[in-house]
Structure formats: C-alpha cells, structure tokens
Amino acid sequence: DQQVKQNSPSLSVQEGRISILNCDYTNSMFDYFLWYKKYPAEGPTFLISISSIKDKNEDGRFTVFLNKSAKHLSLHIVPSQPGDSAVYFCAASSTNTGNQFYFGTGTSLTVIP
C-alpha cells in the first residue's frame, strides 16, 4: 500500500521554463516532507524539506509547496537547467512512523536544452 505517490513517472521541460513535480500522500499524520534528487548510478541526495507548520519553503531555484488539506506537495524548479535532469523522489514521515521515511516512486525529469 503506497502511502506516498508520485503519479507522473516522467516529465520533460524546456530549459529556462518551470518544472513542477507533484506528490500525494494518504496518511494525514505525515508532518515532515523531503525531496531527493537522484542521478543514475548514484544515491539520492537531499534537495529541500518542509514541515507541516509551513506551506512553502524556498531554497534558491527550488520551492516546495504543501497543501495539507489536499494531502499534496509539489516541487517547483525555476528556471530549469539541463543539470536538473534526474529522478526526483518525495518522502514523508511523522512522529507516529518514527524513524521511517516513506518514499514515492519517483519522477524522471528531463530538461531539454
């Protein structure tokens, strides 16, 4: 039973435009969310996080939005660059799940030069 879902397996965007990656979750107790980026043959690397007390968090070109009522978060990348081409995973956790992060299935982003 997938508690964190990324329904778009892939996304293609032109360089310079906005990339929007979406993530939905089913467990209303989740209160901490992270995005990871993964290049081929490498492990995931942390990108940005947000806790449930916020609805937005920014870090340079990356912004994460959280809509708790819809159980939905999104990652915006502006402007998109070819080096952003990677697989993006969202992950969620809560005090109830303790040390366990639940990961989505990932979205493969391709930024076209």
Partner 1 sequence: NAGVTQTPKFRVLKTGQSMTLLCAQDMNHEYMYWYRQDPGMGLRLIHYSVGEGTTAKGEVPDGYNVSRLKKQNFLLGLESAAPSQTSVYFCASSTGVFEKLFFGSGTQLSVL
Is residue 25 involved in binding partner 1 (CB under 8 A)? no
**73 binding partner 1? (CB under 8 A):** no
CA-to-CA distance for 108 and 99, rounded, in angstroms?
26
Asked if residues 26 and 44 have their Cβ atoms less than 8 Å apart, the reply is no
Round to the nearest angstrom and report the end-to-end CA distance of the chain. Answer: 38
* Near partner 1 by CB under 8 A: residue from 60, 83, 98, 113: 98
- Among 52, 57, 105, 108, indicate the residue that binds partner 1 (CB under 8 A): 105
Residue 92 exposure: Cα atoms within 13 Å on the Cβ side = 24
For the CB of residue 96, give the shortest distance to partner 1 in the complex, in Å: 12
- Asked if 2 is part of the footprint of partner 1 (rule: CB under 8 A), the reply reads yes
Quote the CA–CA distance of 58 and 5 in Å, as a whole number: 22
Neighbours of 66 (CB within 10 A): 21
Chosen residue from 93, 107, 109, 111 binding partner 1 by CB under 8 A: 93
| Minimum separation from the CB atom of position 19 to partner 1 (A) | 20
Instruction: Report the interface residues with partner 1, using CB under 8 A.
Output: 2, 4, 32, 34, 36, 41-46, 49, 89, 91, 93, 98-106
